[in-house]
Amino acid sequence: MAVILEITQKGHPRSLANLIANIESEGCPYLSMIRRGMRPKQAKHEWQVKAYPRVGHGGVNDGKDATTFQSNPREELGVYAQKSWYNPGVSDFAEEAEVAGVSKGEFAEQVADAFVAVKRIQEMRCLSNSDTLLENGTTAPYETRGIFSWLSASAQTTLPVPTAFRTPATQIMGNSAGASLATFTEDTFLDACASSYITRKGTYAMHTFLGVHLKKKFTNFAGYVDNIANTTSIRRYNQEADSKTLVRVIDKLVLDSGEHLLHLTPFLMTNAADGTDTDFTHRSGFSVDMESAFLAYTREPRVVNLPYKGGGKKAIVDTIFLHGHENVQGGIAMLYNAA
């Protein structure tokens, strides 16, 4: 009989590494940075806003009595909370089976993944263009408002932002119907930043969240300058030859109108039904003062194990939260869905 070769040998145990690799990042930058708001007492949460009055600066005659009086009225903003969940379940046989990389059991692994899924649901909702929604008791549930709905120059359908406190149209680049990313330039962004400064009456640190294709446009600010007649280009891009490293990234802009810290995110304007990317996802972005944004929990993310009924282990991982902005007048939206 011929020598046994490994390739024809029978009875090999399977060689499977004792780990499970997840190629998707768990990072949710917006949720990681947003401040925590007070716990809502109702499904509808409201707060008051005001702006200091714009007044003249002329003098008053000596001896003149006051005959006219003014006041500074306030307006109300509001949003509804929403419930989100991801419900894991495994069968009896699946839970008892020994699985490589799942040392604590299949059900524990699925519950851990469910918490990540719920966090992503919150991130995607906050970074969406979806409006807040009042539950109708049958088909429509309560839903909270996404950032691109907050940053709107026109009235929202539900609980609209009062006219005087909406984001000016000059701070919205592209549009919700779609626009070409080729129309985005450094000058258009600087114009929007100037408008934001005029609206806010001051410089603030802004956080800018960008899809990867739009982020490339910002990176190109360092290497390219538009051709302008009768001017001389003085922009330079330096590299230390000894490092043998080409660094091509911009993560911070310091402008006349304020600072912008740039963050990449893969979850902008996703489909509400299934979370998949849209044409806007990697081409759009926004800038906001994170001091005005807040996430408020009626119910913190939790797990509730359901009674065992013979078929396996099941649980509910859920949360009730809302996404609010105290003042959206200084925000900037960039809406593009084509190259």
Say if residues 70 and 317 touch (Cβ distance below 8 Å). no
pTM of the predicted model as reported, rounded to 2 decimal places: 0.87
> Which pLDDT band holds residue 24 (cuts at 50, 70, 90)?
low
Q: Residue 211 has what pLDDT? A: 96
> Which pLDDT band holds residue 17 (cuts at 50, 70, 90)?
low
> Could you tell me the residue ranges of all domains in the chain?
29-44+76-226+244-335
> Which pLDDT band holds residue 96 (cuts at 50, 70, 90)?
confident
Inter-CA distances, 105 with 91, 96, 108, 109, 200, Å: 12, 8, 6, 6, 53
Per-residue pLDDT tens over the stretch 208-239: 999 999 999 998 876 655 666 666 665 666 66
In terms of DSSP bridges, do strands 75-80 and 44-49 run parallel, antiparallel, or are they unpaired?
antiparallel
Lowest mean pLDDT among 15-29, 91-105, 148-162: 15-29
CA-closest candidate to residue 266, choices 212, 206, 339, 207: 212
Secondary structure letter of residue 207 according to DSSP: E
- Distance of alpha carbon 123 from alpha carbon 266, whole angstroms: 10
Task: Say whether pLDDT at 32 is over 60.
Answer: yes
Find the angle CA(294)-CA(251)-CA(33) to the nearest 5 degrees.
20
User: Which residue pairs, CB below 8 angstroms and at least 24 apart, start in 66-74?
Assistant: 74/48, 74/49, 74/50
Say if residues 337 and 320 touch (Cβ distance below 8 Å). no
Is domain 29-44+76-226+244-335 in CATH 2.170.220, yes or no?
no
